[in-house]
Amino acid sequence: MNDDQILTIEEAAQFLKMTEKQVYELCRVRSQERMEHPFPAFSIHSKAKRIRKSDLMAWIAKLAAKGLTPKR
């Protein structure tokens, strides 16, 4: 599959092994403002969120790297 593929919320949820509700929560503005690494979603219009797979993979890599960094 091409990493520049555009995913729906449902497809992103399946990829992340999460529920759609959990992914929608990650997309909320309030959630985005609180996160060090905001979820890479964009809106086509008010009721259509999409995620570029390459952005999703980069986001996962950032989270994984953060988890592997020793705490000081």
Rg of the chain over all Cα atoms, to the nearest angstrom: 13
- Pairing, β 6-7 against β 41-45: unpaired
Query: Digits of tens for pLDDT over the chain (72 positions)?
Result: 555 899 999 999 999 999 999 999 998 878 788 888 899 999 998 889 999 999 999 999 999 988 755 444
Helices (H) and strands (E) in the chain, counts: 4, 3
The pTM (predicted TM-score) of the whole model is 0.80
